[in-house]
Structures are given as structure tokens and as C-alpha cells.
Amino acid sequence: MTVKVLPSGRMTKPNIIGPSDHPNKKDIEFLIDQRMVWKKAKNFERADEVRKVLQDKYKVVLRDFGSSCEWKVDDYVQPKAPISDEWLIVSKVYAHFIPSGIRVDLSEEALWQAYIYETKGVGEGSLSIFSSAGVYNGYIVGKRYLDVTLSMWQDDIQEGLITKWEIINEITDPTIKTWIAKRLGVDNV
């Protein structure tokens, strides 16, 4: 990161993040903090420069609330490379673990947002940022439930309450069964 506040109070010209055009959350929050410093110092020209870089280069949408700011990556618009076959399998597993009663979005756009978050670290994996009118990104929801379920299964297996095969045999979809088996350390299903 090459954005710095100099002892004179000036900020260096934003040449942001270096070789990658995929900022991570830490980089974005650093820039937002710098912007807030400039706003507090009433140097709105510098604050607007940082906002423009965040918007134009990284598609970060800012929403100011007095002395604080919310942000999100708006429809990550890097050219959409094909989603890998492996990740499509993972997304199927995530969707399998969505509990009933939760309104979720399993659209292509939701798949893309979850993929970008998981593979590039761009966006926010919290459920609130992916919620629109009480509808959550189903892949993010499924991942959270999968993580908890796998952890509980590992504990139950260690305590002898259930075997790996009992878990695997409950799953009917062969793709999901194979994926779960690998996570539980079973090679041949």
C-alpha cells in the first residue's frame, strides 16, 4: 500500500495496493480511514480523491453517516472469468446445507458474488452485506451452516457418537457425498 499521511499532514497521491487490482478488506478499510481523516480535517478535496479511487478502481460504494462510513463492493465488475468446476461443486455443497425457512438468493449473480468473495477476498462475507430485503446470498448462508456442521461432525466422530460412514451414507447426492467424504478423510466412497 502506498497511500501515506506525511508529517506535513499531506497525503501521498493514491497509487493504491500495488500489483494486484483486487483489494482486500484491510486495504479498503485503510483507504476509508484515510478518507475519514481528510474529512475530519475538512480537506474535502483529498477526501474526494480517495472516494474517487475507491469507486473508480475498486467499485467500492461508500455511505457516510456523520463520522462513520459503511462500504461494500458494488457488483464486482472485473471481467467475469469462468467459475471453476471445483468451485461449482463447492457451491452445490453450500446450497445443500441451506436450512429451510431462510429466504435466500441462489441466482447466478449470488453465485458470482460468493465466488469472488471466496477466491479473491473481494466483498464482504458477512450475511448483512449480502442481504437485500431479508433475502440472503444462499451460498454464503450454506457455507456458514456447512462450516458449523462439519465442526460438529468432527467433534461427534472424536467422541465416538457417530462414524464417518454413518454421515456419508445419509447423503444421497453423489457429488455432495464425495465432497463431504473427502473432508472427513474418506477417499473411496
Please give the Cα distance from 6 to 10 (Å, whole number): 5
Most confident option among 42-51, 116-125, 152-161: 152-161
Predicted pLDDT at 101: 87
* Predicted confidence band of residue 84 (pLDDT cuts 50, 70, 90): confident
Radius of gyration, CA atoms only, the chain: 21
* Predicted confidence band of residue 120 (pLDDT cuts 50, 70, 90): confident
Paired strand residues for 73? 60
Nearest partner of 168 among 180, 156, 158, 160, judged by Cα: 180
pLDDT at 28 over 90: no
CB 132 within 8 Å of CB 112: no
Predicted pLDDT at 131: 57
